[in-house]
Structure 1
């Protein structure tokens, strides 16, 4: 390759400085250009501009500044070929910053810019005492909690849950308790929409068809077994009436989609369990499990407080599930044809319609008091729409652009969702007399659930390790407990049923215990044990330990600028 003389005419004692042609990566700032600029800076450091009659003072000031800044410039302290860990970390603090120091500074800058923007738009609402301020603090704190946990093998949501709980219960920093319930509920619903949409896009139709019977068995049998054991245990240990015992049992039996789905998507993106369709199996079953538990809870709540027609309530649950699947599937089929494939903004329109349709199913079902149909409708909508969309990208090695859109949304709503779930745990409601007995009831039910889940998978093509994994993935409890755990207590207070208020408070306490214990342990078990028990069929993605790229702020591998051999072709 021919040499080129520097365009600015720089020379040294050996003559003009040679420049080697560089290929651009299309962004105008690739590593070769960075290194070339670094060598140019070093050259100018050793050969300062000569001061003439005009501009001499300015040149001397610039030269003085360069000399003063040299000790803290990264270009003055190039890393050796194999630097020690301490030496590499020290490089982060030089100018310009790099590594994790640069990542933290960028993150702080992003938060500061958006916070200032919100203050400009809403005035006092984003300042202390405003309605947006506690949500902002919770979001930032939960994000930091996830980022701190990320380097470990534990899932980031564990850090988010802990931070949310601290911001709601520690005096002096308990800003989360000031979040308006309407804002909290809306944020959780939007996050649930994003979760279920991502889950629907990630379902494998071939595996789902092959595992349809196993999905039904896994969705219903372990939950029914746990309900039975929890109901009897609550009667014998807590002394509840039979109706309240089974009301508590349905509260405890439901598995949290907000914990299980992201954890399974994280394994799926790394290729674990895809050969047997295990992520699809668990994600599909968890939605049906929630419908069963919410339906049973509604029935028992009506019995406890004699609300509504019991026969209608019993029939309404399955009907909600069928209506949700039918509506979501119909909407999904319509997205095969709208927008038209010839549209210049096809991916944009598809993303808007998909997310908008998901929000419609979640919020619309609540508006008509058919909330049980919303999650299944959202899941069905994304699954059916993606069933045809995937044909356009099959064999290309590319993901659907819609998946990238939902991934960006998840960056925002993951810390918000789990921070809000953690903030829902009110430690002041934990009655010491109830805690021990409640934990006993909880673990008795979980033990039976895990045993039944293992037995359910016996008549399948899953091997021993995969059958052992299913019960572990079938434990976390969070969102539904946070949503319905306080309903019985609030109902007793609203109706003035003073004799039932203690029972409602015990249900609330045990529901919070279930969140505190099972959400972090269950998610950690999925993240840690999953890769050891499940077969990996594809290359691991670049996202290590988290499905949320917003938590991955490290430099690209090989991003350090090293001196290049001038004889090497660029």
Structure 2
């Protein structure tokens, strides 16, 4: 082919591309995601065949995953001006509820209980790893007392309040009352962190470090709730008179093993190895899964959660600035298992079998705990140098709940199913039901509350363009970079 012919051919190709532009925007995204979902189903069907047909074990899991992803995308598309986006997990949870409670579809979408429990435990291990990696020791040292007060005080007060109210209203045993209390006491990072980043971007509350305070305290709040829940769950799973020692042994043993594994993973794999990020991620997630599943095998189910938290925290501390790519890779794994977790949680709830008393009294416990939490938060930040409006905003920002409630609520039910006791299964379903109610009610209300209250209650700080960035602005940039890299 001559140069002239080649030039003519290239010219024709360019003209063709200009006349037939490539699809872009929302339509292209929808078509791409639909093809990917169809490809996923096709690959699984080609490998498993009968198991991937209606009524098979894999069919239910695949359909649940696809519906949860679609539900999350639909809810994520709801965007209101000046307000943070609604958390996609609401759509994932509702997708599971619909699949479980729509006639005819329920019979076709069969989900094996053993598979469901295993997938929820995998999701829980990944979630705990992300929580451990998300801790920021530098921010904790900088914010000091006020951060500890905001993180520890409201969480503990709400857990104790819910325990007392649920014991007298719902008739829960004291240990199960505290299990429910710690399930409900964790604040939502999925709602709080993106909302705080939006406020930081516009300069609201930046001068006094309110967004940084809430993001840091929210991570510590989750750790406290998980630790309290783990201790109480270990007590509930013990049938002998040493139930209190059993709970303490779970926590202490989990911390000890997590400390050893955390130190080990700081040095192995070594920095001179190839594919360091991938190997660190595989090592960290592998040890987390072994801790969560292995602790159940040896009879200490609560130790795995504490071990995973401590190990991930020490790993992040040892890796320093190199933890960001590992956290981002763990976030990718969470993107896959998050729809499964919330879809499976929703699929555990059968509306027709719900006791109206459980729903009503559960909502009463939830509302009472929230009111006490708001009051405790307002009082605990009283000596932090904040104005009245800023105190009110900090209290409102502590309303939403989601991911921790789903993970811990399902853990209580899994423990009851393993024990095989009908009374414990009933208690586990009650805890899970109230946890689902908490997600459905507080997540959207909290997102709206933060979005509406922030610009009205916080002072907007504007910097002169000629001046350099302040330390608070630098901290804001670092927090935003960490959030996007870890995909919290």
Matches within 5 A, 1:350-499: 350-392=280-322, 400-460=324-384, 464=391, 467-469=394-396, 471-473=398-400, 477-484=405-412, 494=422
**Quick one: distance in 2 between partners of 1:258 and 1:413?**
20
Report the more deviating stretch, 354-363 or 224-233. Answer: 224-233
For 1:521, the equivalent position in structure 2 comes to 441
On the 8 A contact 1:324/1:374 being kept in 2, the answer is yes
SS in 2 for 1:538: helix
For 1:178, the equivalent position in structure 2 comes to 110
SS in 2 for 1:420: helix
**Quick one: distance in 2 between partners of 1:351 and 1:548?**
15
Q: CA separation of 1:254/1:544 partners in 2, compared to 1, >3 Å: closer, same or farther?
A: closer
For 2:463, the equivalent position in structure 1 comes to none
For 2:477, the equivalent position in structure 1 comes to 538
On the 8 A contact 1:259/1:519 being kept in 2, the answer is no
Q: How many residues align?
A: 449
For 1:129, the equivalent position in structure 2 comes to 55
Could you state the TM-score of these two structures normalised by the residue count of structure 1? 0.68
For 2:82, the equivalent position in structure 1 comes to none
For 1:102, the equivalent position in structure 2 comes to 28
Structure 1 portions without partners, runs of 5+: 12-16, 20-35, 43-72, 76-95, 393-398, 495-500, 550-570
For residue 215 of structure 2, the aligned residue among 250, 267, 279 is 279
Q: What RMSD, in angstroms, separates the aligned Cα atoms of the two structures?
A: 4.0
Matches within 5 A, 1:258-273: 260-264=188-192, 266=194
For 1:345, the equivalent position in structure 2 comes to 275
TM-fit CA distance, 1:173? 1.7
Q: CA separation of 1:429/1:221 partners in 2, compared to 1, >3 Å: closer, same or farther?
A: farther
For 1:92, the equivalent position in structure 2 comes to none
For 2:43, the equivalent position in structure 1 comes to 117
Deviations 1:515-566, CA, capped at 9 Å, x for gaps: 33211333334544446648982399799999869xxxxxxxxxxxxxxxxx
SS in 1 for 2:245: helix
**Quick one: distance in 2 between partners of 1:120 and 1:294?**
41
Matches within 5 A, 1:207-222: 207-210=139-142, 221-222=153-154
On the 8 A contact 2:52/2:59 being kept in 1, the answer is yes
On the 8 A contact 1:263/1:527 being kept in 2, the answer is yes
TM-fit CA distance, 1:171? 0.9
SS in 2 for 1:343: coil
Bigger radius of gyration = 1
**Quick one: distance in 1 between partners of 2:110 and 2:279?**
37
Structure 2 portions without partners, runs of 5+: 79-84, 201-208, 461-472
Could you state the TM-score of these two structures normalised by the residue count of structure 2? 0.78
Deviations 1:62-112, CA, capped at 9 Å, x for gaps: xxxxxxxxxxx744xxxxxxxxxxxxxxxxxxxx54322221221122122
**Quick one: distance in 2 between partners of 1:358 and 1:489?**
22
**Quick one: distance in 2 between partners of 1:247 and 1:109?**
48
Q: CA separation of 1:431/1:143 partners in 2, compared to 1, >3 Å: closer, same or farther?
A: same
Q: CA separation of 1:225/1:177 partners in 2, compared to 1, >3 Å: closer, same or farther?
A: farther
**Quick one: distance in 1 between partners of 2:420 and 2:324?**
49
SS in 2 for 1:471: coil
**Quick one: distance in 1 between partners of 2:440 and 2:406?**
10
TM-fit CA distance, 1:197? 1.8
Deviations 1:415-461, CA, capped at 9 Å, x for gaps: 11111111122212212344333432332233223322443444546
TM-fit CA distance, 1:194? 1.7
Structure with more of its chain in helix, by fraction: 2
Deviations 1:15-61, CA, capped at 9 Å, x for gaps: xx9x8xxxxxxxxxxxxxxxx9554555xxxxxxxxxxxxxxxxxxx
Does residue 292 (structure 1) correspond to residue 228 (structure 2)? The answer is yes
